[in-house]
Amino acid sequence: MSSTVQRIAENVARVRDAIERAAQRSQRRADEIRLIAVSKYVDTDVIEALLEAGCHDLGESRPQHLWKKAEQLVERPVHWHMIGHLQRNKARRTLPWIDMLHAGDSVRLLDTVNQLSIESGRTCQVLVEVNVSGDESKHGFQPEQVPEVLDQAVRWPGLRICGLMAMARWGSEPDEARYDFIALRQLRDRLIGTVPDQVRLDHLSMGMSSDFEVAIEEGATMVRVGSSLFEGIAG
């Protein structure tokens, strides 16, 4: 076994173990939590090692990188997640590749994705990104805007809105990040029951390498983990 394959297998096992323990602490089942392996730091040879370690949900934050890797791995069993900001002029080329858009961060983007999905006879799974931390530099809707965004879902038959996504405030320690994760969960809980029928709020995509355990304790159903998976890998 090559050392990369072995190292990735160990890292994946360590992260999965941490997911399991965080789930137990919060009386949740680990199989309710999907690990999105953020492959943006690595090339396809390392991605092959991730696939071998059983990670088939992969996240990329830049559309051009996603296109290139998805084309190279077209024969492989990958579910691609677009986790970063998607410019509208890159949507047409991105949508055919992805299982889910995590960064639904503007009404104009949602309009575009809806239109393109209808044209191609598909629906796109989308999460609505919320700027829970209020960082000026972050994408996403302000929490108070989310109800009126979701109310527009009746206009978007091409979208399947299935949850919310957030990033913790920049540079925060896990215990500070916890406040942002609680804010996202509470927003979801307040919205449930008030949103149009076609909106599901099953998913909370939150938590990265430094804080995914806290995110799970606060209700994450998808964690987006990158650097922890690549420790010890020359990059």
Ligand X SMILES: *Cc1c(COP(=O)(O)O)cnc(C)c1O
Residues engaged in binding ligand X (CB under 6 A):
38, 40, 61, 83-84, 167, 208-210, 224-228
What is the maximal distance between C-alpha atoms in the chain?
A: 53
Contact, 112 vs 94, CB < 8 A?
no
CB closer to ligand X out of 38 and 204: 38
- Helical H runs in 127-211? 146-151, 174-191
Cβ closest to ligand X, residue 153 vs residue 216:
216
Token digits of residue 170? 């920049």
CB of 140 to ligand X, least distance (A): 10
For the bound state, the minimum distance from the C-beta of residue 56 to ligand X, rounded and expressed in Å, comes to 17
Cα–Cα distance for residue pair 135/172, rounded to 1 Å? 12
- 197 burial level (CB within 10 Å; 0-12, 13-18, 19+): exposed
CB of 143 to ligand X, least distance (A): 18
What is the nearest approach in angstroms of ligand X to the Cβ of residue 231? 11
